[in-house]
Amino acid sequence: MMTSLTRTNWLRRWTALLLTGVLAGLGGMLLALLLHEIQHLVYGYSQSTVLSPQTFLEGVTDASAQRRFLAIVAAGIVAGCGWWLLGRYGKKRVSISAAVKNPDTPMPGITTMIHALLQIITVAMGSPLGREVAPREVGALFAGGVARQLHLTTTDLRLMIACGAGAGLAAVYNVPLAGAVFTLEVLLVSFSWETAIAALVTSALAAWVATLGLGNEHQYRFTSEIAATSLVFWGALSGPLFGTAAFLFRRLTQRARSKVRNNWQMPVFSLIAFVVLGALSIWFPQLPGNGKGPTQLTLDGDVTLQLALAILCIKVFVIWAVLRGGAEGGLLTPGLTLGALLGSLLFILIGRFFPGSDMAGFALTGAAGFLSASMQMPVTAITLMMEFTRMDHSFLVPVTLCVTGAYMTCRQLEYTKKD
C-alpha cells in the first residue's frame, strides 16, 4: 500500500515531469520563433509573417550579395564579442553533460540563457553551426529549476535535467521519439523502464506544446516511396567510409575548440572567420545557416557534382573556422548535412552501379551514417532520420546498416588513436 510519503514523492516527480515537458516545449517554440524572426529581418524576406513557406535558403539566395556579406560579418561581430564578454564577465558555464553528471552544481541561469540566445541569433544571421544546443540548454535549465523547487532527490534531479535537454531537442525539431532516445542514449547512457517513461513523457509533451506555435511539420521533404534492393547493399558497404569521414571531422572540430582562448583573439578570429564565410556566400548562398537547405537539395536530387563537392569542402572549412574563432553551436544538423552531401557526391560518381537507387536514398543513408558516428549516437541518429523525413519503413534496413558500419568504424579508429 502506498504510504503518504511515497505518494508525495510520486506526485512531486510527476509534477516535475509535466512541468519540464511544458517549459521545454515553450522554450523550444520561442527560440524557434525568434530564429525565424531574425532570419526574415536580416535577409529581408517574408517580413509579414514569422512562419513562412519561403525557406531560409530561398531567402538568402534572393538577398543581394552585399546584404548576405554584411549580415554574416555582423554575425561574426555578435559571436566574437558576445562570447568573449560572456566568458569574461558571466558566471562559469555548466554544460548539460556536466549538469547531468553532477546535478548538485546548477547551471547558472543568466549565463545559460545568454549563451543560448547567442547561438540562436548567430545561426539565424548565418553561422554554419546548429541551433539544437540552445533549446537543450534551456530545457535542462528549466528542468533543474523545477526539480530543485520541488525538492527532488539528487537521482531524480539528474533525470529531470537529462529529460529537459532531450525535450528541448524534441520541441525544436518536432521529434518526440528521438528526443527521448537522445536522453537515454547520450545523456543518461542507461536504460530502465522508469527513465524511459520519463524521457518519453517529457519529449512527447514538449514536442506537442511546440507544435501549438510552430505547426505539426517535419524537417525535410523526402519523396522516395520505397528503398531499392541495391540501397541495402550500399548501406552495408558505405558505413565504414562515412565512419572514417566522421572520425576526421570529429578530430577537426575537437582541435578547433581546444585552441579557443577567451581573450582578444576571440573577437578578432571570429570576425575573420565570418568575413571569409560572408565572402564565400556571395558565390555560394547555400553556405549560411546550419545546413538544412543543402540537405534538402540532396534529398530532392538537385545538386551537381561540382556543387556537392564545393559545398562539402567549404562547409567543413567554415565550420572549423567559426569554431576556431570561438563561436558556439551544435554539430547535429551540420553533421547531417555533410553526410548527405557526401552521399549525393558518391551517388553521382558510382550510383550507376546500384540500379534502382536514387540520390535521395544515398543522401539519406549518408546523413544517418555520418551523424551517428560524428555525434556518437547510432540509435538516436536512426530515430532522428525517421522523424525528420517520415521515410518509408523500407529505408530502415539500409539506414541501420550504414549507421552500424559508420559508428563501429569511428569507434575503432578512436580506440586506435588513444592506443
Place of cell 572520425: 247
- Say if residues 330 and 133 touch (Cβ distance below 8 Å): yes
Using an 8 Å Cβ cutoff, are 137 and 115 in contact?
A: yes
For 94-124, what is each residue's pLDDT tens digit?
Answer: 999 999 999 989 999 999 999 999 999 999 9
Contact 398, 235 (CB under 8 A): yes
- Residues facing 386 on adjacent strands: none
Residue range 130-156, pLDDT digits in tens: 999 999 999 999 999 999 999 999 999
> H or E segment at 256?
helix 229-258
Measured distance CA(335)–CA(132) in Å, rounded? 12
- First-to-last alpha carbon distance for the chain, in angstroms, is 54
CATH H-level, domain 4-214: superfamily: Clc chloride channel (1.10.3080.10)
Domain ranges within the chain, ordered by starting residue: 4-214, 229-418
Q: How wide is the angle at C-alpha 68 spanned by C-alphas 66 and 69, nearest 5°?
A: 65
> Quick one: pLDDT at residue 3?
61
Measure Cα distances from 156 to 3, 44, 237, 247, 381 in Å: 19, 46, 43, 35, 26
**In a 10 Å sphere around its CB, with 0-12 CB exposed, 13-18 middle and 19+ buried, how is residue 110 labelled?**
exposed
Question: Alpha-carbon distance 145 to 379, whole Å?
Answer: 29
Domain at 229-418, CATH homologous superfamily:
Clc chloride channel (1.10.3080.10)
Which amino acid would we find at residue 206?
A
Q: Is the dihedral of CA 158, 162, 163, 164 positive or negative?
A: positive
Nearest Cα residue to 144 out of 82, 101, 189, 184: 101
Q: DSSP letters along 22-81, please?
A: HHHHHHHHHHHHHHHHHHHHHHT-STT-SS-SS-HHHHHHHS-HHHHHHHHHHHHHHHHH
What pLDDT sits at residue 88? 93
CA atoms 127, 132, 137, 139: torsion sign: positive
Q: How far does CA 250 lie from the centroid of its chain? A: 15
Do 4-214 and 229-418 show the same overall fold? Answer: yes
pLDDT tens, position by position, 156-197? 999 999 999 999 999 999 999 999 999 999 999 988 999 999
Strand, coil or helix: 130: strand
**Contacts of 24 by beta carbon, 8 Å cutoff, 6+ apart:** 135, 138, 139, 142, 143, 164, 167, 168, 170, 171, 202, 206
d(CA 288, CA 297): 14
Cα three-residue angle 279-282-288, rounded to 5 degrees: 80
Amino acid identity of residue 173, one-letter, is Y
Q: Rounded to an integer, what distance in angstroms lies between the CA atom of residue 114 and that of residue 111?
A: 5
393 SS3 class: helix
Q: Which residues of the chain have pLDDT under 70?
A: 1-8, 418-419
All cell numbers assigned to 409 = 568504424
CA distances from 215 to 211, 220, 346 (A): 4, 14, 35
DSSP 97-115: HHHHHSTTSPPPHHHHHHH
CA 237 distance to own-chain centroid: 26
Quote the pTM value: 0.95
C-alpha closest to that of 368 among 352, 347, 354, 387: 387
Task: Return the pLDDT at 4.
Answer: 59
